[in-house]
């Protein structure tokens, strides 16, 4: 039986599973977690441990049809300016609830389009963040930069604010595919943005590229990857396009008859993967690549790679606070998500209330299963010693886990009393294997394709 047949037999091409950027996943959050809970979690933060801060800017000048992020379009600066004022107010609410001495280890501005903010707004928001807490000595400040929505003034403002890593979404360089997905962004515009960043000393660059887009062929994705490689990004996220029109109505603009079949999607991924590997990038988890010496590669090599709502990360901060509409925070005690609707979010903040809509408080089992899933997603292996020492698992319980997953995926898992390992041939099944350890009911949640 060849590999393709094995993967099909195990259900890879039919399965829809979470991406496991959290455990439990967001569909299992509830309103049982309140603003009062989060206030307690904030006050309990350890000042000796830096925090991560995520700032969500939901606005875009134009909504891309492929995107499933929670965003809204605007053609004027008024709503953006009002939103920035609300962000500043939320930051001031947080400041009164965190202990003195907290520092920021990681800061990320995501969206939407953070570079929709004008230079003055960028400086204003940055000042409010610095008022909340200073950067730690070895901080990272990354921003999602839209090459279509950035200029010298904004790049200067971001550099002055301390940005030292930029993330650029490429998706695909083919003009016909760009037209189909509603995202026009030429190679020339992208290169100009990269050159502008590097001219300001921002040498660390992330890039996102998608496979599984309508009309994509092995030849077309190879050409896009080769163009991307000329920009020499330090990290690349090779994401599968998630066609979820029940979540993102704008995706109804995508012609479904032009979408590659699951088997074709795997072929597209492999073409892109091979090009990155041939160019000496190191594979990170299921869909990232990094240059040797980059923080992600070092984290993989030293066993400290982690996974959060931004994907794979070398962020070691135990707490990530989300600021802005729909932002999700992770505390040692659980998750908390702000109101997704901008209007509800702004109303709560203006009333002086932490804008928490829902969340989840961790149980001991959540911690255990979450770590198993993260280890599989990051390292393709789970070590018995770690689970026994840190999570109170017995050897007999580990052995039972190992037998269960090995039986479910015959020929794809290597097990021993010491560890569970996903074989190389089975790496396309990683999200499905991770799901095997998910104790939550998935019958109501709709997820993206497993490949």
Cross-sheet strand order for the sheet of 413-415 = 381-383, 419-422, 413-415
CA distance linking residue 350 with residue 244, whole number of Å: 33
Higher pLDDT, 246 or 90: 90
The kind and range of the H/E element at 357 are strand 356-361
CA distance linking residue 275 with residue 8, whole number of Å: 25
User: How does residue 152 score in pLDDT terms, banded at 50, 70 and 90?
Assistant: very high
pLDDT (0 to 100) of residue 445: 65
pLDDT at 68 over 80: no
pLDDT (0 to 100) of residue 72: 79
User: How does residue 1 score in pLDDT terms, banded at 50, 70 and 90?
Assistant: low
What are the tens digits of pLDDT across the range 329-354? 999 999 999 999 999 999 999 999 99
Q: In the predicted model, what is the mean pLDDT of residues 161-178?
A: 96
What are the tens digits of pLDDT across the range 391-416? 999 999 999 999 999 999 999 999 99
What are the tens digits of pLDDT across the range 246-261? 777 888 888 888 999 9
**Selection from 45, 69, 44, 66 nearest residue 57 by Cα:** 69
Judge whether 264 and 276 are in contact, CB under 8 Å.
no
Instruction: Write down the mean pLDDT value for the chain.
Output: 94
User: How does residue 94 score in pLDDT terms, banded at 50, 70 and 90?
Assistant: very high
pLDDT at 78 over 70: yes
Helices 78-95 & 342-350 angle (0-180, nearest 10): 50
Burial class of residue 427 in the structure, from the number of CB atoms within 10 Å of its CB (0-12 exposed, 13-18 middle, 19+ buried): middle
CA distance linking residue 340 with residue 327, whole number of Å: 8
pLDDT at 62 over 90: no
- Counting DSSP H helices and E strands in the chain, the numbers are 15, 19
**Range with the poorest average pLDDT among 122-131, 245-254, 359-368, 424-433:** 245-254
Q: In the predicted model, what is the mean pLDDT of residues 408-426?
A: 97
pLDDT at 71 over 80: no
pLDDT at 448 over 80: no
Per-residue tokens: 321: 């606070």
pLDDT (0 to 100) of residue 446: 67
pLDDT at 106 over 90: yes
CA distance linking residue 21 with residue 429, whole number of Å: 16
User: How does residue 441 score in pLDDT terms, banded at 50, 70 and 90?
Assistant: confident
**Selection from 2, 4, 1 nearest residue 261 by Cα:** 4
DSSP string, 131-189: HH-PEEEEEEEEEEE-GGG--HHHHHHHHHHT--EEEEEEE---HHHHHHHT----HHH
CA distance linking residue 358 with residue 370, whole number of Å: 19
What are the tens digits of pLDDT across the range 184-211? 999 999 999 999 999 999 989 999 999 9
Measured in residues, the chain has a length of 451
Q: What is the pTM of this model?
A: 0.95
């Amino acid at each position: 039986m060849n590999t393709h047949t094995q993967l099909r037999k195990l259900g890879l091409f039919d399965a829809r599973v979470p991406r496991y950027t959290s455990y439990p996943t967001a569909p299992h959050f509830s309103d049982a977690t309140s603003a009062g809970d989060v206030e307690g979690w904030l006050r309990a933060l350890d000042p000796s441990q830096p925090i991560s801060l995520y700032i969500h800017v939901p606005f875009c000048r134009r909504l891309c049809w492929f995107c499933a992020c929670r965003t809204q379009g605007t053609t004027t600066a008024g709503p953006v300016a009002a939103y920035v004022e609300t962000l500043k107010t939320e930051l001031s609410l947080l400041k009164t609830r965190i202990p003195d001495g907290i520092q920021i280890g990681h800061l990320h501005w995501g969206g939407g389009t953070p570079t929709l903010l004008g230079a003055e707004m960028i400086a204003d928001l940055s000042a409010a963040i610095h008022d909340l807490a200073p950067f730690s000595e070895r901080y990272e400040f990354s921003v999602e930069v839209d090459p279509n929505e950035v200029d010298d003034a904004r790049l200067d403002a971001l550099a002055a604010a301390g940005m030292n890593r930029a993330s650029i979404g490429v998706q695909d360089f083919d003009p016909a595919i760009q037209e189909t997905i509603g995202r026009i962004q030429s190679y020339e515009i992208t290169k100009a943005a990269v050159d502008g960043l590097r001219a300001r000393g921002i040498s660390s660059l992330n890039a996102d590229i998608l496979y599984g887009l309508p009309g994509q062929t092995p030849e077309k994705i190879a050409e896009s990857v080769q163009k991307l490689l000329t920009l020499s990004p330090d990290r690349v996220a090779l994401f599968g396009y998630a066609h979820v029109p029940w979540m993102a109505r704008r995706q109804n603009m995508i012609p479904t008859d032009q979408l590659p079949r699951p088997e074709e999607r795997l072929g597209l991924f492999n073409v892109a993967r091979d090009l990155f590997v041939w160019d000496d990038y190191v594979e990170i988890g299921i869909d990232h690549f990094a240059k040797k010496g980059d923080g992600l590669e070092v984290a993989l090599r030293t066993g400290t790679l982690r996974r959060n709502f931004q994907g794979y990360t070398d962020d070691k901060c135990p707490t990530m606070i989300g600021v802005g509409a729909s932002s999700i925070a992770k505390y040692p005690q659980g998750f908390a998500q702000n109101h997704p609707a901008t209007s509800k979010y702004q109303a709560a903040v203006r009333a002086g209330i932490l804008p928490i809509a829902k969340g989840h408080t961790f149980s001991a089992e959540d911690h255990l299963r979450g770590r198993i899933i993260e280890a599989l997603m990051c390292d393709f292996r789970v070590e018995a010693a770690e689970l026994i020492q840190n999570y109170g698992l017995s050897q007999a319980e580990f052995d039972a886990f190992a037998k269960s997953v090995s039986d479910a995926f015959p020929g794809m898992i290597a097990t021993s009393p010491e560890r569970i390992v996903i074989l190389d041939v089975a790496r396309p099944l990683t999200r499905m294997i991770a799901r095997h350890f998910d104790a939550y009911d998935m019958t109501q949640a709709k997820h993206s394709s497993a490949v």
